Amino acid sequence: MNIDLAIKNGSDILKNKLIPNPQLDSEILMATTINSDRKYALLNSNNLLEKKDLNKFFNLVKQRSLGEPIAYLTNKKYFWNSEFYITNDTLIPRPDTELVVENILNLTKQKNKINILDIGIGSGCILVSILKERENFFGTGIDISKKCLKISKINADNLGVGTRLKLYKSDIDKFNLGKYDLIVSNPPYIKKLKLKYLEKDVVEFEPKLALNGGLDGLSVIRKVIKKSSQLIKKNGKFILEIGFDQKNKVINLLKKEGFYINSAQLDLAKNDRCIVSTKI
Ligand code: GLN
């Protein structure tokens, strides 16, 4: 079977399973199968596939037809201005989280050699993107998942910032190392009982550890705010990603811990998503 026919068959299978972009997904999975990109697959569509590649391709199509996200099947996701290595141990970087990166870059235009802490670094998409943009900044990332730390290390090295990033496996409660000019976190903030109502590809495939914010959705955010107020320098900036219905509660928590609220911002879907504050 040639590449063209395999892509068509793959697309039909995905279409029958009501997967939203069957043709595109089939092309991407073919590119992954032959370790190449879509352009190569489409320009060489008459090439015959070996049996092992056909098997690999239709296995990927099968997984996709069961709802597994493309990012986990290709182990790639584009975020800010880099491609990140992703596995199902990390959340898939969201376009909404680019708002967090944008804020940090705006806040640090005039800064030199600052130390940034990322609490729950996951794939590293936030901190690695910042370090890539700001060549004299230093990063520290913590996570309770050892696998996430490995992935963020891979991303930091691949994107050339590995020597400026320190990683620690730690719960935020137990982390007491250093004082930071800027702290960022995208903690798990979904209410435990609401997890099952998230989109199927999220709830069935993404790590609960990165999503579950306990009964009220704020149990991790609370810890992160409390600890950040000790780890941050005076006048340091704190940038937090939050759930769409958490703005007022989070602002109160921040104020209680001595933060001044600079702004609360909306994501692409016009939901409250990011709070910028300053330690006073
Ligand atoms: N924004 C993610 C979602 O809606 C949740 C991320 C998080 O809990 N930090 O699936």
The pair of three-digit structure tokens given for residue 206, joined into one six-digit string: 């993404």
pLDDT classification of 278: cutoffs 50, 70, 90: very high
> How much is the pLDDT for 180?
98
Q: Which residue has the tokens 């490995």?
A: 150
41-76, pLDDT tens digit by residue?
999 999 999 999 999 999 999 999 999 999 999 999
194-206, pLDDT tens digit by residue?
999 999 999 999 9
The pair of three-digit structure tokens given for residue 220, joined into one six-digit string: 């991790």
Pocket of ligand 1 (CB under 6 A): 94, 186-190, 198, 202, 211
The pair of three-digit structure tokens given for residue 157, joined into one six-digit string: 């090295």
With the most atoms of ligand 1 within 8 angstroms of its CB, the residue from 97, 100, 186 to mutate is 186
> How much is the pLDDT for 50?
96
Q: In CATH, which of 3.40.50.2300, 3.40.50.150, 3.40.50.450, 2.40.50.140 is domain 89-279?
A: 3.40.50.150
Looking from the CA of residue 212, the nearest atom of ligand 1 is 8
CA of 188 to the centre of ligand 1 (A): 7
Element (DSSP H or E) covering residue 144: none
pLDDT classification of 33: cutoffs 50, 70, 90: very high
> How much is the pLDDT for 17?
97
> How much is the pLDDT for 5?
98
pLDDT classification of 104: cutoffs 50, 70, 90: very high
115-145, pLDDT tens digit by residue?
999 999 999 999 999 999 999 999 999 999 9
- Helix 98-107 × helix 125-133 angle, to 10°: 40
CA of 198 to the centre of ligand 1 (A): 9
CA of 95 to the centre of ligand 1 (A): 11
CA of 118 to the centre of ligand 1 (A): 16
DSSP symbols for 48-105: BPPHHHHHHHHHHHHHHHTT--HHHHHTEEEETTEEEE--TTSPPPPGGGHHHHHHHH
- If you take atom 5 of ligand 1, which residue's CA is the nearest one? 211
- Helix 51-65 × helix 22-33 angle, to 10°: 140
Q: Which residues pair with residue 165 across a beta bridge? A: 139
CA of 263 to the centre of ligand 1 (A): 20
Query: Dihedral, CA atoms, 158, 189, 261, 234, nearest 10 degrees?
Result: -60
* Average pLDDT rounded to a whole number, residues 159-170: 98
206-236, pLDDT tens digit by residue?
999 999 999 999 999 999 999 999 999 999 9
* Average pLDDT rounded to a whole number, residues 23-45: 97
Alpha helices in 144-183 (DSSP H): 146-158
pTM, 2 dp: 0.95
